[in-house]
Amino acid sequence: MGTKREVRIGCVQIPASETFDEAIEIACRLAGRVVEDGAELVCLPEYCGGLMTDRGALKPPAAPEASHPVLAALREFTRDAGVWTLIGSVAVEGLDGRLINRGYLVDDQGEIRARYDKIHMFDVDFSATEKYRESDVISPGDTAVVADTPWGRLGMTTCYDLRFPHLYRSLAQAGAEMLAVPAAFTKTSGQAHWHVLNRARAIENGAVVVSPCATGSIPGGGEVYGHSLIISPWGEVLADGGEEVGVIVATVNMDSVASARNRVPSLQHDRPFNLQAKSGTDLQTKSGTDRRSVA
């Protein structure tokens, strides 16, 4: 695949939807807007196929991958528009009674080029009343994914993965120049950490970071942060979606990745080190390495 060094990226910032039909309508309508604005790579957030909660538990609408209506509609949109689309994630029926939180990279012919199942589960207690147990509903993935695009290699991650820098280090060292972080980041944690974590992942890996995030209230309870971001390899915020439903678009020259990595070549400077635990035991480890496989 030939590499084009300049790409116009669009992020679609949508609310959580209760039904497939609702999700399809708003996703395709706003994706059409970013295509009109010249986007060649259209990026949608986590659970763009719908998201609800029920008494604090996640309850996204789900279907088998082969018959998932949102996936089918977005593949058709992508083919008709002649763009590439990052489908942040939809809920796919799994094999163990739980669902799979699965993202897709779709090419301009509507073909699926890569799949990514979210690795890290959002199991946290913000307070006595605000608790999340994603693993009760979602079965975690175990494979990191780097995929080829016309503009360079793309590392696929999802939402809570953002807090695990070794994952992004592994993706960058496997050749990813662009890191995708589609999310439905909670407003509580987003206000405190979203911008700084996204900028950190860009800076420490010298990579373009693209983070479409859902916004507004979740049917059944909860709230997501918005502020979809497109960030340069030097950590500059090129576009920020704020808190309203809408779109952002930015043009990125992928040569900026090599420039940032040449200025601060930290990807080449990881070194093995010994970790001395409190017991005095020396544990051999290696910085920047994830034991999971990279596809």
Active-site positions read 46, 118, 159
Q: Is residue 246 a contact partner of residue 216, using CB atoms and an 8 Å limit?
A: no
Q: Is residue 11 a contact partner of residue 239, using CB atoms and an 8 Å limit?
A: yes
User: ∠ CA(290), CA(292), CA(295), 5° rounding?
Assistant: 110
Q: How far is CA 233 from CA 39, 167, 178, 249, 257, in A?
A: 19, 17, 9, 17, 6
Q: Is residue 224 a contact partner of residue 218, using CB atoms and an 8 Å limit?
A: yes
User: CA Rg, the chain, in Å?
Assistant: 18
| Residue whose entry in the numeric block shows the structure tokens 């952002």 | 248
Q: Distance between alpha carbon 177 and the CA centroid of its chain, in Å?
A: 14
Q: Is residue 108 a contact partner of residue 138, using CB atoms and an 8 Å limit?
A: no
